A = this chain, B = another copy of it.
């Protein structure tokens, strides 16, 4: 895979945005590999993602030029280079299916990231962490030790320069203060088709309601429980023959897929959040 740069932009919509950005890239000799835009006509917003080859491209020059342009167009923007591997911390409790999936996908190269630490409030994942050579941190959490545990988590995250936190069926609710420190940088998987069955025991409630499809949702974590920007959702069919355990079991496959896709897209810098929504570029 070639060495590339990706520019992510959102700003008020106006004429000439694509021309200005692509023109500046062209002027700097960029060979564009992918370009995608989106306009939210209602909100009057413009979103753009451009990826180009870095071989023989003067990134610093372009960056300086662009930093002068961006403010004149009220742009929020990020510039990412493929050579940098984001550092991901995985939080997990007792269910390991999502963790196993993430570790395998990283090993296979599907997920382009480092995983410097796995954090858990249970010991269940330690052997697995060791097998994949990832430092495992166990801090049991009780109501009265929650604050201390979060302080320890934050210390570890800072120490390991973590860019993204993945909650792989982590059964603790993070405090608003914690969440506020990682805006759009914490991805959670909720085991229901949001906004249905927000909160605890979604499979139990789905079973009681007699739904014919169950789902899973991956989203960025916001201050409000299960209310952050949705990144991906998937569902599968259930019938009257499926007992609660069957829902839980079928759901695991949905959770793995919904979560790993979200993490993949985040790492590929394909997600832009605005308000409570996401733009996920193909």
Contacts and interface: CB of A to CB of B under 8 A. Distances in A.
Contacts of A253: 257
Report copies per complex. Answer: 4
Nearest to A272: B240
Given A15-B31, A36-B36, A241-B38, A194 B211 contact: yes
Interface of A: 15-16, 18-20, 22-23, 25-27, 29-42, 96-97, 100, 104, 108, 110, 127, 131, 193-197, 208-213, 215, 229-235, 237, 239-241, 243, 249, 253, 257, 275-280, 282
A211 B275 CA distance: 13
B240 A279 contact: yes
A240 B18 contact: no
B239 A210 contact: no
A34, A42, A241 interface centre (most CB from chain B within 10 Å) = A241
A220 B56 CA distance: 42
Contacts of A243: 41-42
A233 B213 contact: yes
Given A108-B97, A131-B131, A195-B197, A278 B32 contact: no
